[in-house]
Structure formats: structure tokens, C-alpha cells
DNA sequence: CTGTTAGCGCCTTCAG
DNA sequence: CTGAAGGCGCTAACAG
């Protein structure tokens, strides 16, 4: 059942050379005479030899493995990210280990140490909150970390973010240009910098147009929960004099809010308009959403992967770099 | 930059014991005297010792790692699967390596050999097509493989599927009960067993009610492409006498079809009704879709993980088992 | 260009 | 219950 496969020794014996020569042929590092190389290759073929990557890793101290940890795997944002990272990493001989922090700082810490125990060569993470005290220990172990989508304030590391403030401002301004004077904000999660930046962009647009931000119509809640968007929309629309136009912080909250309007809140339909962060394949199909702010998710993943590989190759040197990518406003 | 961390030798020296004792304390396998154990633990604490998992794997021939390969990572189905597998695997000390086969049999073969070269302890896969000749080689290397969602015909392996035929039949019957006499089928991908089974269920419902299956209104296309659903809907509705009711093979095709009706095909709105496989968070928000067939995706992932771990623990013995989970019909 | 020789860090008999 | 010793499969000096 467990066929112990051929080793480099077997190949060396069959080819009548030393293990070092076999290793050289396999890795292609150093020059080997054509004829011996041919003998080695023949032996490899004959025995069906495959290098044992675990043994190699033990020796080289590199696993060619990258870890990624995110609050939730089952989100549109994460899966597009995973896809683009997979593409970039596979092309460079790396594999991707995924972990969910299940939105818990404790679990997040566990996953990070698990990954570093596995000796991954680098880590990409979407932090659960603004504070990641445990990341320092990972970096101290010599494993580079790149943040994506969100930033931890207490850590010095590379990051790939988007211009959250600019994107939110642009979308809010579009609503204003359409004639809306009163606009609410849905999903101002105070624990996540990304949400705070989007809120700041919304405020900037409102104030720039001389419009009032009504605290009654700013809802707080969890960023990654559909349920949260549903509840927020429900309670805000229950208030007298609720606005018609809303800026929504992300796709999950938009799904929740839309869901409310399609079911229990259907009485409010017909006079509600959204602008929302995140453009997804199904975005054009949702009602109410006039504008969405599209993030270049694939670029973000590719860039994060490249930054990480770069840092790995440079041995971790160089100071942290924060990339801000532009968003695109889409009108439906 | 690369702080070579403490090894089992360092711990042994500090604690004044042998490396064997340290190993025993760490693994908890064999009994160790309380006092020496305490000294070892103190030394571990002091040095911040972490076992090198790569070295352990080399010795034990187990990496505590599971690979998963799917045609596309960026799909709701895959991500829900990954999430549930991650949950089950993490609880058992395993990590998940993800790979995309990018819907290509050639790439699929590459990913499989990559995973087996990495000495993963098991593999879960959604095959790209019905034929996976390369899987046999993986199994021959002693690595168990579990199929999920789709089956490869030429391989003997465990599989976790749903009752595709029953689910499709039930949904089609619901449309019939609503009074529709003519129902089209969207997305009969001939290369994938899962799609063929859904088509068979649709046919069974139609024939059971004495209704005609009109080949003109059965569309073929790729299962995982939104674009495919769009094109199919477009060309079918362009034909004279197109039916009002449609069964759609999965979520991606439904998004595509809906998209067509929201844009270029808006003239056809108002007299089109769908029943579709797959229930997603945004499903209740899509128009036209009256019924959806919900798959127990989380259960599928958890079950696949458990079957795999089971087989790993049993050393691969036992004959292949195919699980068929029930679907649930949802009315919107 | 090629072979010999040490380990990488850990587990695991086998003696004591 | 504990220590000594060998080896998992590979790479990287170092000699030749």
C-alpha cells in the first residue's frame, strides 16, 4: 500500500554515478557532462524517480509554499484573490495553503503560528481587525508577511490596498450629482480601517457638497456579514424620514440590504437607490444598486504575490511598501 | 534575517536530557517521568522551541496536508467547499493546499503530480471532465483521492455527489405543477456527468407528465461560464416560439441568463421563469428564478474530508464508496 | 566535471 | 523510564 518510491541513491546506483551528479541533473544547477546526464535521465525514467520535496526542503530551508489567511473563505472577494494568487504562485513554483481565521483574533493567531510551524516561505493575510500583535513574532522568525485589503496598524509590513476613500467619495458624488441631497451610510464597521476610510470618503463628498451627514442614518455593523446588512437596512428604514439614497460599505452588506427590500421590507421598494463598494458577477442583476465601486481584485492578488516573492528572494530586506490601487466607478 | 531557531538538540542540552526524551515529551507518545518532562517543558519555553514539521514529515512520511484541485477557484461552490473542508481538516491537524486546474486536463494532471510530489496525505478533486487517466498514478503512489461534485468514469475512488437527477426532476415538476407545459433546458454540458444527470432528471419529469422535450430548446455549453449562460439564453430566446419556463443547470449559467434578460434581452422580461440548480446568498435577489435546487455544500465538504481522513488512517484499505446527498427545493 | 562526506532536525528501535 | 545511534532523502561544500 505504501510503495516506498525510488530515491536518489537508487538512481545513482542504476546510472552508475554518485548521488551528487543525480542531484545536479535534477536541479540543473551545475554543469554535467552530456553523456552522464543522459544515463541519469534514463535511470530516472526507468525507475520513475520523483524527488522527495520534503527532504529537499529540510536541506534547503525553503518549502516553496505560501500561506494565506482570511476571515472568511466563502466570500467573493477572497475567492477572486485566491484565484489570482494561485495563478501567480503556481507560475513561480509555489503552492498556496489557505486558512480561515473565522473572524477571530485568537484563531487568526493560531493559523499564523501553524503556517510558520509549517515553514511557509511567506504569508498573505487579510487581518480580522486593526490589531495583529502576533504578526511580529512571525516576521521575527524570518517569514515575510503582506497585508491585503486591510491594514494592521501596529505592524510594519508590505500591504496592497485600494483607494477606499477616493472610491467612496466618487460614488457618493455620483449620487449627489443625480440630485440626492440626503444619503445614508450602511456598514461603518469601526474596527476595520478599510471601513473607516470608506466612511471618510463618503463624509468628504457630503461635506464638499455642503450636505449634512445625519448620524441617525449611519449604521454600524460587521463588514463580512450579510445578516448585518439586512438588520441595518431594516432598522434604518424603520425610522421616520429615512433617506432614499444609501452608500453601502461592501458586497455582503449590499446583499443583506437588498434581501431586506426583496422580502420583509418590500414596502420601501421603488424609492431606494444604492451606491455600493464591490462589483461582482451578479452585481448588475441586483435591484436598487445604481453605482458600484469596482476593486481590481485580480491585480491586488497578483501584486501581493509578486511583492511577497520579491521579498523572499531578497531575503526579506528593504523597507515596507504600501500599494494603493485605484477603484473604478460603474454605473448600472 | 534568518534566525536559525532552536532544535531538539538545543532543548535536550538545556534540559540535560537526551533528544529522545524531548521528542517523547513533545509528541506525548510514550511515558516520561514527571520531573524530566517538567525540565524539558521549561527548556522548550525558555528557548521558544518549535518542532520542525518538515523534518518530522521526512521521518514519519506524513505531511498532514491535503490537496484540493478544482477547475475554478473563483466560484461560490468551490469556496463554500473549501471553507467546510478547512474547518474539518484544521480540527484534525491538517492543512489545505489549493490548486486550480483552470478547466484544462493538462493542467489538472500537472497539479495532481505537483501535489503528489509534495507528498500530500490525500487529495480531493472536482474533475474537469469525465476522464482522469492520471489519477490512477496518484493512487498507485499510495495517495487516496476523493472526488466531489463530479465523477470520473475511469477511476475507482471515493466520491461525494448529490442526487442530481432527483433534484432536477423535483424542480422541473414544480414548474409543471405551476402550469407550464413547455420548459427548456439551459446548459446541458455533455462532457460532465453531473450535467448529464441533471438533464436526465429534467427529461424524466417532462416525460412523466407526458410533455415533449424540444431539442430546439435544449442548449449545450460550459458548466462554469457565466458567458455561456448569457449566450445560450440569447440564442434560445431569439428563436420563434421559445418557452417561458426554463430549467438552468447551475448558478453560473443562471447568472449569465439573468444578465441577458437584464440588458440586451430586456424585451423578454416579464414572461420568463426559471428553476435553477444551486442556491447562493444572492439567489433570492435574482429575478425570474422561482425555484432553486440547494446543494448541501458544507456537508459535502465535511464528508469528503472525513472520508479522506478515514482512508488515510486505515492506510488506504477498503473499497470505494460513493455518497449521494439529497438536495432541497427552495421556492422564492 | 565528478565523487565523497557531512549534515538538515526529527523519530525510533534497541540497549541499558 | 531513559540514552545512544542510525537513518529518512536530499544538497552543498570540498576535494579530486
Closest CB to B285: pick one of A2, A3, A258: A258
Are A281 and A206 spatial neighbours (Cβ–Cβ below 8 Å)?
no
Say which residues have a Cβ less than 8 Å from residue A81's Cβ, sequence separation at least 6. Answer: A68, A70, A126, A148, A149, A297, A300, A301, A304
Asked if the model's pLDDT at residue A109 lies above 90, the reply is: yes
Predicted pLDDT of residue B216: 94
Q: Mean pLDDT score of chain B, rounded to an integer?
A: 93
| Contact between A82 and B95 using a beta-carbon 8 Å cutoff | no
**Separation CA A200–CA A194 (nearest Å):** 10
Task: Encode pLDDT of A19-52 as tens digits.
Answer: 988 999 988 877 788 888 888 999 999 999 999 9
**Predicted local distance difference test score (pLDDT) of residue A271:** 87
State how far the Cα of A9 lies from the Cα of A18, in Å rounded to an integer. Answer: 8
Residue A58 CB lies within 7 Å of the nucleic strand C: yes
* A247-269: pLDDT as tens digits: 999 999 999 999 999 999 999 98
Protein CB footprint (7 Å) on chain D nucleotides: 1-13
Q: What is the distance in angstroms measured between the alpha-carbon CA of A8 and the sugar C1' of D8?
A: 12
| pLDDT higher than 70, residue A180 | yes
Place of cell 414544480: B174
Distance CA B302, CA A114 (A): 21
Confidence of residue A3 (pLDDT cuts 50, 70, 90): low
Residue B253 and residue B273: Cα distance in Å, rounded? 14
A51: left (phi over 0), alpha (psi -120 to 50) or beta: beta
pLDDT tens-digit readout, B125-150: 999 988 888 999 999 999 999 999 99
pTM exceeds cut of 0.85: yes
Instruction: Give CA–CA dist B193/A90, Å, rounded.
Output: 29
- Grid coordinates given for A38: 543522459
Answer yes or no: are the C-beta atoms of B129 and B192 closer than 8 Å: yes
pLDDT surpassing 80 at residue B29: no
Tens digit of pLDDT for each residue in B54-73?
Answer: 999 999 999 999 999 999 99
Interchain proximity B285–A286, CB inside 8 Å: yes
Q: What is the DSSP string of B2-26?
A: --PPP-HHHHHHHHTS-HHHHHHHH
**Beta pairing class for A289-294 and A328-331:** antiparallel
- Please choose, from the candidates B101, B72, B98, the residue with its C-alpha nearest in 3D space to the C-alpha of residue B85: B98
Q: Above 80 in pLDDT, residue B2?
A: no
Task: Compute the average pLDDT of residues A134-153.
Answer: 93
DSSP class of B55: H
* Selected residue of A73, A257, A262, A274 to mutate for chain B interface (largest B Cβ count, 10 A): A73
CB contact under 8 A, A98 and B86: yes
CA distances from B267 to A115, A282, B263 (A): 53, 20, 9
The 3-class SS string of A40-77 reads: HHHHHHHHCCCCCHHHHHHHHCCCCEEEEEECCCCCHH
Q: A1: pLDDT confidence band, cut at 50, 70 and 90?
A: very low
Measured CA to CA, the distance from residue A246 to residue B123 in angstroms comes to 46
Task: Say whether pLDDT at B1 is over 60.
Answer: no
State how far the Cα of A294 lies from the Cα of A298, in Å rounded to an integer: 11
| A63 close to A93: Cβ distance less than 8 angstroms | no
**How confident is residue B3, by pLDDT bands cut at 50, 70 and 90?**
low
Answer for the pair A248, A187: CB distance below 8 angstroms, yes or no: yes
Tally of CB atoms within 10 A around B189? 23
Average pLDDT over residues A292-309: 97
Query: Angle at the Cα of B312 (from B307 to B317), degrees rounded to 5?
Result: 90
CA distance A320 to chain B (A): 15
Helix, strand, coil % in chain B, rounded to nearest 5: 45, 15, 35
Nearest residue to D11 via alpha carbon and C1': A59
Which helix or strand (DSSP H or E) is residue A197 part of?
helix A193-208
d(CA A253, CA A230): 7
- In degrees and rounded to multiples of 5, residue A228 shows phi and psi of -60, -40
Distance CA B95, CA B226 (A): 31
Q: Strand C closer than 7 Å to the CB of A63?
A: no
> Residue B292's beta-bridge partner residues?
B276, B330
Lowest mean pLDDT of A316-320, B289-293, B301-305, name the range.
Answer: A316-320
- Of A277, A325, A255, residue with least CA distance to A168: A277
Which nucleotide lies closest to A12 by the C1' atom and the CA atom?
Answer: C3
Yes or no, beta carbons of B97 and A96 under 8 Å apart: yes
d(CA B101, CA B204) in angstroms, rounded, equals 33
Euclidean distance between CA atoms A30 and B58, whole angstroms: 26
Residues A193 and A150: beta-carbon distance below 8 Å? yes
- pLDDT score for A300: 97
In angstroms, the CA of B8 and the C1' of C12 are apart by: 15
Nearest to B79 among A74, A87, A114 (CB): A74
- Asked if A308 and A280 count as a contact pair (C-beta separation under 8 A), the reply is no
Asked whether the predicted pLDDT for residue A4 surpasses 80, the reply is no
**Widest CA span in chain A:** 88
Banded model confidence at residue A223, pLDDT cuts 50, 70, 90: confident
User: Minimum mean pLDDT among A4-13, A226-235, B173-182, B252-261: which range?
Assistant: A4-13
Alpha-helical runs (H) found in B118-250: 135-140, 164-177, 193-208, 226-238
Contacts of A300 (CB under 8 A, 6+ apart): A81, A84, A148, A149, A160, A162, A325
Contact A1, B317 (CB under 8 A): yes
The region, left, alpha or beta by phi > 0 then psi within -120 to 50, assigned to residue A94 is beta
- Chain B residues whose CB is inside 8 A of the A100 CB are 83, 86-87, 90
End-to-end CA distance of chain A: 58
Helix (H, G, I), strand (E, B) or coil at A15: helix
Task: Give me the domains of chain B, ranges plus CATH numbers.
Answer: 8-51 (1.10.260.40), 64-162+297-323 (3.40.50.2300), 164-294 (3.40.50.2300)
For residue A20, say whether its CB is under 7 Å from any atom of strand C. Answer: yes
A80-89, A109-118, A199-208, B7-16: lowest mean pLDDT where?
Answer: B7-16
Give the closest of A54, A142, A282 to B1, CB-based. A142
Q: Which nucleotide is closest to A21, CA to C1'?
A: C2
Q: Which residue has the cell 491594514?
A: A151
Where is pLDDT greater, at A179 or A314?
A: A179
Footprint on protein of nucleic strand D, Cβ below 7 A: A 4, 7-9, 19-20, 23, 26-27, 29, 49-52, 55-56, 58-60; B 16-21, 24, 30-33, 35-37, 55, 58-59
Q: Do the chains contact at A53 and B118, CB–CB below 8 Å? A: yes
* Beta-bridge partner residues of B183: B245
Amino acid at each position: 500500500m505504501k510503495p516506498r518510491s525510488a530515491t536518489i541513491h537508487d538512481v545513482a546506483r542504476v546510472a552508475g554515478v554518485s548521488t551528487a551528479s543525480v542531484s545536479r541533473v535534477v536541479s540543473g544547477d551545475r554543469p554535467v557532462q552530456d553523456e552522464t546526464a543522459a544515463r541519469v535521465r534514463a535511470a530516472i525514467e526507468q525507475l520513475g524517480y520523483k524527488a522527495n520535496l520534503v527532504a529537499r526542503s529540510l536541506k534547503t530551508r525553503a518549502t516553496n509554499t505560501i500561506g494565506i489567511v482570511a476571515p472568511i473563505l466563502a466570500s467573493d472577494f477572497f475567492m477572486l484573490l485566491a484565484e489570482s494568487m494561485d495563478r501567480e504562485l503556481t507560475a513561480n513554483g509555489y503552492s498556496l495553503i489557505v486558512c480561515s481565521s473565522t473572524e477571530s483574533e485568537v484563531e487568526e493567531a493560531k493559523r499564523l503560528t501553524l503556517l510558520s510551524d509549517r515553514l511557509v516561505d511567506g504569508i498573505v493575510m487579510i487581518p480580522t481587525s486593526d490589531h495583529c500583535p502576533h504578526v511580529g513574532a512571525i516576521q521575527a522568525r524570518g517569514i515575510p508577511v503582506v497585508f491585503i485589503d486591510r491594514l494592521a496598524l501596529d505592524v510594519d509590513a508590505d500591504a496592497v490596498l485600494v483607494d477606499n476613500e477616493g472610491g467612496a467619495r466618487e460614488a457618493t458624488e455620483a449620487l449627489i450629482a443625480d440630485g440626492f441631497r440626503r444619503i445614508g451610510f450602511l456598514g461603518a464597521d469601526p474596527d476595520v480601517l478599510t471601513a473607516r476610510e470608506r466612511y471618510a470618503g463618503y463624509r468628504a463628498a457630503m461635506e464638499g457638497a455642503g450636505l449634512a451627514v445625519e448620524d441617525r442614518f449611519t449604521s454600524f455593523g460587521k463588514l463580512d456579514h450579510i445578516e448585518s446588512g439586512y438588520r441595518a437596512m431594516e432598522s434604518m428604514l424603520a425610522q421616520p424620514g429615512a433617506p432614499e439614497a444609501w452608500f453601502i460599505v461592501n458586497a455582503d452588506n449590499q446583499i443583506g440590504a437588498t434581501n431586506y427590500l426583496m422580502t420583509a421590507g418590500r414596502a420601501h421598494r421603488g424609492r431606494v437607490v444604492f451606491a455600493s463598494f464591490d462589483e461582482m458577477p451578479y452585481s448588475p442583476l441586483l435591484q436598487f444598486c445604481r453605482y458600484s465601486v469596482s476593486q481590481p481584485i485580480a491585480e491586488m492578488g497578483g501584486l501581493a504575490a509578486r511583492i511577497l516573492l520579491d521579498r523572499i528572494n531578497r531575503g526579506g530586506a528593504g523597507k515596507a511598501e504600501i500599494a494603493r490601487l485605484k477603484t473604478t466607478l460603474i454605473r448600472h
